[in-house]
Amino acid sequence: DSGVTQTPKHLITATGQRVTLRCSPRSGDLSVYWYQQSLDQGLQFLIQYYNGEERAKGNILERFSAQQFPDLHSELNLSSLELGDSALYFCASSRGQVGYGYTFGSGTRLTVV
């Protein structure tokens, strides 16, 4: 157990639907990061939050959005889902804003059918 909790572990949904992925960071970590990993692909950075505020955006689609709540948990919302959105979505957390090692959760595997 890395200390980063992601739910659900698996999600199967139809095209056009909307889903919410949830992440609870490791205790004491203020930064939360979301990454997308497609089959045999690397980790694509989506978005970062630090202590409730958005800090950096990567290749996140307009159909996707995220937020970090006062208790520091984060949610990634994926809407108008397409087949190509099927992937493993990882949340990671770190102590500070920059330069700390990331602790990854076990991921949410999203399958869009």
Partner 1 sequence: GQQVMQIPQYQHVQEGEDFTTYCNSSTTLSNIQWYKQRPGGHPVFLIQLVKSGEVKKQKRLTFQFGEAKKNSSLHITATQTTDVGTYFCAGLGDTGNQFYFGTGTSLTVIP
Q: Which residues bind partner 1 (CB under 8 A)?
A: 2, 33, 35, 42-43, 45, 48, 55-56, 58, 90, 92, 97-99, 101-107
Minimum separation from the CB atom of position 48 to partner 1 (A): 5
Minimum separation from the CB atom of position 28 to partner 1 (A): 15
Exposure string over 8-41, b if 16+ CB within 10 A, otherwise e:
eeebebeeeeebebebbbbeebbbbbbbbeeeee
- Residue (73 or 109) nearer to partner 1, CB: 109
- Residue (75 or 104) nearer to partner 1, CB: 104
Ramachandran region, residue 97 (left: φ > 0; alpha: ψ -120 to 50; beta: rest): alpha
Minimum separation from the CB atom of position 81 to partner 1 (A): 23
Minimum separation from the CB atom of position 17 to partner 1 (A): 25
- Residue (79 or 95) nearer to partner 1, CB: 95
The answer to whether 55 touches 48, Cβ cutoff 8 Å, is yes
Q: How far apart are CA 30 and CA 44, in angstroms?
A: 21
